[in-house]
Amino acid sequence: MEILSKLGIDWKLLLAQIVNFAILLFLLKKFLYKPLLTMLNTRRETIEKSLEQAKSIDDEMKVLEQRKAEVLAQAKSEADSIMEKTLKLAETKRQEAISKTKQDVAAVISEAKEKIEQERREALDHAKQELSLLVMQASHKVIEDISDKKITEIMAQKALKQVVSSK
């Protein structure tokens, strides 16, 4: 102990400082270090959980992106299929419309031909009637000049019969 006193150190004071330091260390450990370490551990665990959640969310996002791409590809495929069906249906409807129009045109032409034929027959009948009337009138005048009325009537009737029979 003499060495300590030669150095100017009081061993009682040194012992008291060691005891004070031990008490201070005990108090700091109990009231400061443990709560601080607990808080740091809790914070570390929270951060680790957050990182794990972020990783799982990232994995889910990748899966969702793949699913989105698959759904978009399927939707595009379905849209192409629907478009193709629509185009085929439109072509079928167009062909049906063309066919119906051709049939309608053929019916109109046929009807027009029949009407023209009927009008031609009517005009021919009318012309024959007019001609027979003119022939009868002309015959009547000629015969009237030549002979008497009875002969005239007989001749007119014969002429009328010939004209009518030529129909």
Encoded tokens for 122 = 């009517």
Mean pLDDT computed over 105-114: 94
C-alpha span between 135 and 146 (Å, rounded): 16
C-alpha span between 57 and 50 (Å, rounded): 10
C-alpha span between 13 and 21 (Å, rounded): 12
- Which of these, 98, 99, 75, 95, lies nearest to 87 by C-alpha position? 95
pLDDT at 39 over 80: yes
pLDDT at 143 over 70: no
Residue 108 lies in domain: 2-165
pLDDT at 91 over 70: yes
Confidence at residue 63, expressed as pLDDT on a 0 to 100 scale: 95
Q: Looking at mean pLDDT, say which of 28-32, 91-95, 129-133, 137-141 comes out highest.
A: 91-95
Q: What is the pTM of this model?
A: 0.41
Confidence at residue 159, expressed as pLDDT on a 0 to 100 scale: 80
pLDDT at 34 over 90: no
Number of structural domains (the chain) is 1
Give the model confidence (pLDDT) of 51-60 as tens digits. 999 999 999 9
